[in-house]
Amino acid sequence: MFKPTGSMPITKFYINSFLNLFQALLTNDVVLPKENDIPSLQLTKHSSFIAAYGANKDDYEFCMTEYLRMNGIYWSLTAMDLMGKLDVMDKKGIIDFIKQCQHDNGGIGASIDHDPHLLYTLSAVQVL
């Protein structure tokens, strides 16, 4: 354990110890690669993965993320739009899904047979 030495006041010792620890954490946190070592973004692989997600309705991850479906559609479409690959997505299928999630009161649920909620209604409106 560190102990103050000499005539250093104990408060100053603890402040110095904290600052030294903080500086050590900052300098050893992350080593950024050099500009030439940064790999290129694989847009084709990213867009293929997003477009294929949900193709297998029996997939474990697909079933376990049902409560995130409407938000997932929004974020997937946003990512695809940023990559310039929005035309790859199944627009008719997405619109049909949103219609199936809409309730009589106008609200939209996260997925089919889910209760309507403001968050999922917002995501659906943004998608449309």
pLDDT, tens digit (0-9, with 9 covering 90-100), for 75-122: 999 999 999 999 999 899 999 999 999 999 999 999 999 999 999 999
Question: Is the pTM of the predicted complex or chain greater than 0.75?
Answer: no
- Dump pLDDT digits (tens) for 2-30: 555 666 666 777 787 778 777 776 665 66
| CB 117, CB 87: distance < 8 Å | no
- 3-state DSSP call for residue 70? helix
Give the span between the Cα atoms of 128 and 47, in whole angstroms.
20
User: Residues 68, 74, 75, CA angle at the centre, nearest 5°?
Assistant: 85
Give the span between the Cα atoms of 126 and 73, in whole angstroms.
10
What letter does residue 116 receive in the DSSP assignment? B
Say what the pLDDT of residue 58 is. 83
| CB 76, CB 102: distance < 8 Å | no
